[in-house]
């Protein structure tokens, strides 16, 4: 068995030499989040804590924005490598001339909803006729609500829109409005349940709105071929797989060193978000993106529908 001893000695020497070598330099990468840290970002923080970014040779810094509108503009200007944004916003930004491109998907289904009180009189979208609907941001939310109403023979003229800023649930609780548009199914519904005021959600993708990706990874057009992006997506995919397979352990990684995230709302949202994550962040459905662009153009939100390849790619 002399050969086995020789192999063992060689392996030991290799480990010893490797241990003496300095660690390889990692490529720095800045990721601008769309909002403050929350369960929507789970795969990234799991990838960070599990060392998946490090294994891809990346040192990733994730930054929450002071203004949620800033990340796309910042990456377009080269002041960040990747930003998390929204597919609907992507179309509007590209139409306005912002040089950004979708390179991956984080949340592959809509999260947006129309929400009413579960024990209230509104049981379907058609019951919104003559009612007051609260919203935070005009434009896309108007288009979304309009399409949902039209499926039931109504129009935006059949409801009264009230800007409640970002006080969606409070406005509903106070009776200021009869419904809200723009509440996320993984957050607002859970917040309402915690406050003992159950909500009923109507899902846009079931009510006449083409399905879309809620959260996407974007970069500047001139960075599309940056090799770091593919490595980043490799790590995110591994983080997603681990999160799906081990949700409780992944939750522990998510809140590790971030105890302020360990709230009842986040715990509930975590469970409701798992099924929404893109299993293959790279994957791109060109027809789906084009269909959604056609929807936005028909609603007057964008002027043209350029070839999908000009604003969304599948990174190799």
Query: Do both 42 and 161 map to the same domain?
Result: no
Give tens-digit pLDDT for 186-235: 999 999 999 999 999 999 999 999 999 999 999 999 999 999 999 999 99
Query: Do both 105 and 221 map to the same domain?
Result: yes
In a domain, 71, yes or no: yes
Query: Do both 272 and 125 map to the same domain?
Result: no
- Non-local (6+) Cβ contacts of 200 within 8 A are 115, 116, 117, 118, 120, 122, 123
Q: What secondary structure letter does DSSP report for 256?
A: T
CA-to-CA dists, residue 14 to 4, 57, 145, angstroms: 15, 21, 63
For residue 236, give its domain range.
27-109+213-302
Sign of CA dihedral 294, 300, 304, 308: negative
Query: Do both 220 and 181 map to the same domain?
Result: no
What is the full DSSP assignment across 27-55? EEEEEE-SSSS-GGGHHHHHHHHHTHHHH
CATH number of the domain at 192, please: 3.40.190.10
- With contact defined as beta carbons under 8 Å apart, do 172 and 116 qualify? yes
70-90: b (≥16 Cβ within 10 Å) or e? ebbbbbbeeebbbbbbbbbbb
The last residue of a domain, from among 180, 206, 232: 206
Query: Do both 121 and 201 map to the same domain?
Result: yes
Query: What totals of helices (H) and strands (E) does the chain contain, helices first?
Result: 12, 10
In a domain, 20, yes or no: no
Query: Do both 35 and 105 map to the same domain?
Result: yes
Both tokens assigned to 7: 């192999």
Query: Do both 121 and 202 map to the same domain?
Result: yes
- With contact defined as beta carbons under 8 Å apart, do 182 and 168 qualify? yes
In a domain, 315, yes or no: no
User: Using 50, 70 and 90 to split pLDDT, how confident is the model at 24?
Assistant: low
Domain count, the chain: 2
The last residue of a domain, from among 179, 206, 233: 206
Query: Do both 101 and 138 map to the same domain?
Result: no
Residue 137 confidence (pLDDT): 82
End-to-end CA distance of the chain: 46
In a domain, 316, yes or no: no
Which residue's entry shows tokens 């499926």? 151
Give tens-digit pLDDT for 120-152: 999 999 999 999 999 988 889 999 999 999 999
- Non-local (6+) Cβ contacts of 182 within 8 A are 112, 135, 136, 137, 141, 168
The last residue of a domain, from among 152, 187, 206: 206
Query: Do both 120 and 200 map to the same domain?
Result: yes
In a domain, 143, yes or no: yes
In a domain, 86, yes or no: yes
In a domain, 96, yes or no: yes
Query: Do both 132 and 248 map to the same domain?
Result: no
Query: Over 70: is that where the pLDDT of 310 sits?
Result: yes
In a domain, 307, yes or no: no
Cα(254)–Cα(212) distance, rounded to whole angstroms? 26
Query: Do both 34 and 159 map to the same domain?
Result: no
Query: Do both 155 and 285 map to the same domain?
Result: no
Residue 106 confidence (pLDDT): 98
The neighbouring-strand residues paired with 218 are 83, 102
pTM, to two decimals: 0.91
């Amino acid at each position: 068995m002399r050969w086995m001893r020789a192999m063992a000695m060689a392996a030991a020497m290799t480990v010893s030499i490797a241990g003496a070598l300095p660690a390889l330099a990692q490529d720095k990468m800045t990721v601008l989040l769309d909002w403050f840290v929350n369960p929507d970002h789970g795969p990234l923080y799991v990838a960070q804590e599990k060392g998946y970014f490090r294994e891809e040779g990346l040192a990733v810094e994730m930054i929450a924005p002071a203004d949620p509108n800033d990340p796309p503009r910042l990456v377009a200007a080269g002041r960040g490598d990747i930003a998390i944004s929204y597919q609907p916003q992507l179309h509007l930004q590209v139409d306005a001339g912002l040089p950004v491109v979708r390179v991956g998907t984080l949340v592959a289904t809509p999260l947006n909803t129309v929400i009413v009180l579960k024990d209230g009189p509104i049981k379907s979208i058609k019951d919104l006729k003559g009612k007051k609907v609260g919203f935070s941001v005009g434009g896309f939310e108007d288009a979304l609500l309009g399409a949902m109403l039209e499926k039931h023979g109504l129009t935006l003229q059949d409801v009264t829109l009230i800007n409640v800023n970002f006080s969606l649930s409070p406005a509903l609780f106070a009776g200021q409005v009869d419904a809200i548009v723009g509440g996320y199914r993984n957050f607002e519904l859970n917040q309402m349940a915690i406050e003992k005021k159950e909500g009923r959600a109507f899902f846009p993708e079931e009510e006449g709105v083409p399905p879309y990706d809620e959260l996407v990874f974007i970069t500047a057009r001139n960075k599309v071929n940056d090799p770091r992006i593919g490595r980043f997506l490799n790590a995110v995919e591994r983080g997603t797989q681990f999160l799906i397979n081990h949700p409780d352990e992944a939750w522990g990684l998510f809140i590790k060193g971030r105890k302020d995230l360990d709230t009842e709302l986040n715990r509930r949202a975590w469970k409701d978000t798992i099924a929404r994550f893109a299993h293959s962040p790279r994957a791109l459905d060109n027809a789906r993106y084009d269909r959604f662009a056609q929807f936005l153009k028909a609603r007057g939100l964008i002027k043209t529908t350029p070839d999908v390849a000009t604003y969304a790619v599948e990174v190799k």
